Amino acid sequence: MNESARIDPSRFVPVGRVSEQFQSYNIEMAEITGGTFWRPYTEAQVRGVEPVTFASESSDADGEGSAAFAHVGSLTAPVAPVDLSGARVRTLARALGPVHVRVSGSWASHTWFDVTGDVEGSAPDGYHAVLRRHQWDGLIDFARSVGADLVPSMANTAGAHLSDGSWNPANSRAFLTYTLEHGLNVAGAEFMNEPDLATLHGAPAGYTAADYRRDVAIFVRTLRETAPEALFIGPGAAMARMPGAAPFPHLPIDDLMTGPAGPPDVFSYHFYNGLSERGGGLHHTPADQVLTEEYLARTEKALAGFSAVRDDHAPGAPMWLTETADAAYGGSTWAPTWLDVPRYVDQLGRLARNGVDCVMHNTLCASDYGMLDSRTHAPRAKYWAAWMWAKFMGTEVFDAGVPLREGLHVYAHDRRGGAGHAMVLINNSRTESTHVELSSPASAYVLTGPELRGLDVHCNGRLLSMIDDHTMPEPVGVAVEGTLVLPPVSVTFVTLTA
């Protein structure tokens, strides 16, 4: 048994607030238009009993497979346009609301919005994909029905530039105007996906930081004119300051933050704990290390690096993590399983306590890191933890006075929709239970996975599942007075009236 700890809510110290949309998510543009995305793992690979093999040949698919993702060859596959009209996906998404839905990804940087309905067949020159009106209408209807607003990024490919090399805002202006006219609020927008990796994500060959500074200023003027209430969010970089030589071509983040656009209203960044097995072993963390203190702390270390950039170039701007998951390249093999749930919840707790205002998981239902299965929209393991967070954790954040250590991570908020406090307690030990002494009566919702690499989640020993496609379950808490036992590899939500 791990060393016990005492938790007394009368000693909680307020440390900040997060937005109502603190827990949000991405929907990939490739899902909306149809295109190319990460090839799913097999069931055996998800369970960890079959190795992931790699192919060296290049993908011959058009779009993202032949552009941004050409280097990963057959690890991508075609994806059909997603259907977000079904009762199941809307019920599940509504239960997470209110949220920001970020629509972006590498595919967005290549996509032309066909506002007139005139484009037939292939995309215009300089683009790889077409977003058709009925497809965007479907996203707008989905977002409005689940209580979401929009955070998009714009296309910045060769076709989006004028003869003098500067960015042409016409299609992005039409996109924003259409969205607002059809009743979807644009909370804010980023210029392009991960501009520090600009050419990887579709920018013209030879694109420089000076080009970006010129173009983002044009974008900001367009945003202010077209959607004056929307926030300028940026830069949305994948890397903070890089000591020494970077492992691949990039535009230094400091070089993106100066220029006529001025500082962003919101400072945004991206973070993954590493690369998935699809990365061929580069920056990949083995499954036996993903519950360690070092692994869980990586998100806080990344925040410190990006916060330093924010403080230098946009002091006081809110921090949004606009793209994150366990691993880039579609998620690790265990991303859909219980094994990734402690990391998911721990990241929310850490970042809320350290001043991040919004965290957008990648993705709702694309690839293996999605909260929902991409084909059936059935909830995966982390969905249930996300739902519990949305159900209980409010916007005021407290320091519970319990240092982080293996076996006990404590994060405290006010209780959403009720008096008192809510906490989430994470036991990341694989072998030892932790005893916690509570100073006041509480209700506990102990989440466990019967299999570490399984998709099922139990709440107080009972399987969590939808009652039907229109109805969420009602979790039943266990009354606790005094000692609460946290099983190994568990995530426990606790509500206290005090």
The per-residue pLDDT for 280 is 77
Q: Exposed, middle or buried, 284 (CB in 10 Å: 0-12/13-18/19+)?
A: middle
Per-residue CA distances from 316 to 26, 190, 207, 355 (Å): 25, 18, 30, 11
CA–CA distance, 49 with 418 (Å, rounded to integer): 45
Tens of pLDDT, residue by residue over 407-450, are 999 999 999 998 999 999 999 999 999 999 999 999 999 999 99
CA–CA distance, 395 with 22 (Å, rounded to integer): 8
Cα torsion angle, 449, 450, 451, 457, sign: negative
DSSP classification of residue 261 = T
Q: How is residue 302 written in tokens? A: 């990344």
Three-class DSSP category at 226: helix
Tokens 């205002």 found at: 357
CA–CA distance, 90 with 67 (Å, rounded to integer): 32
Q: Which of 429, 387, 421 is nearest to 404 (CA)?
A: 429
CA–CA distance, 226 with 206 (Å, rounded to integer): 30
**How many residues in the chain?**
498
Cα torsion angle, 170, 175, 178, 180, sign: negative
Type of residue at 248: F
CB 104 within 8 A of CB 193: yes
CB 15 within 8 A of CB 40: no
Q: Which of 241, 201, 214 is nearest to 328 (CA)?
A: 201
Give the confidence band of 62 by pLDDT, cuts at 50, 70, 90. Answer: very low
**What's the distance, CA 383 to chain centroid?**
12
User: Which helix (H) or strand (E) element contains residue 396?
Assistant: strand 393-399
CA–CA distance, 157 with 109 (Å, rounded to integer): 6
Tens of pLDDT, residue by residue over 270-283, are 999 999 999 877 78
The per-residue pLDDT for 55 is 52
The per-residue pLDDT for 482 is 95
Q: What is the β-pairing status of strands 111-114 and 99-104?
A: unpaired
pLDDT at 67 over 80: no
Tens of pLDDT, residue by residue over 204-248, are 999 999 999 999 999 999 999 999 999 999 999 999 997 766 667
Q: Which of 430, 466, 462, 428 is nearest to 445 (CA)?
A: 462
pLDDT at 74 over 80: no
Q: How is residue 122 written in tokens? A: 């292939």
Q: Which of 296, 474, 281 is nearest to 388 (CA)?
A: 474
The per-residue pLDDT for 56 is 44
pLDDT at 65 over 70: no
The per-residue pLDDT for 69 is 47
Contacts of 447 (CB under 8 A, 6+ apart): 341, 384, 385, 388, 457, 458, 459, 490, 491, 492, 493
Greater model confidence, 151 or 60: 151
pLDDT at 79 over 60: yes
pLDDT at 60 over 50: no
Give the confidence band of 57 by pLDDT, cuts at 50, 70, 90. Answer: very low
pLDDT at 139 over 50: yes
pLDDT at 406 over 80: yes
Tokens 């099983």 found at: 487
Give the confidence band of 71 by pLDDT, cuts at 50, 70, 90. Answer: low
Tens of pLDDT, residue by residue over 341-372, are 999 999 999 999 999 999 999 999 999 999 99
pLDDT at 17 over 70: yes
pLDDT at 64 over 70: no
**What's the distance, CA 235 to chain centroid?**
16
Ordered by where they begin, the domains of the chain are 2-15+398-496 (2.60.40.1180), 18-394 (3.20.20.80)
The per-residue pLDDT for 398 is 99
Mean pLDDT of the region 247-271: 94
The per-residue pLDDT for 72 is 57
Mean pLDDT of the region 459-475: 98
Q: How is residue 151 written in tokens? A: 């955070």
pTM (2 d.p.): 0.96
Helix ranges (H only) for 359-452 are 381-392
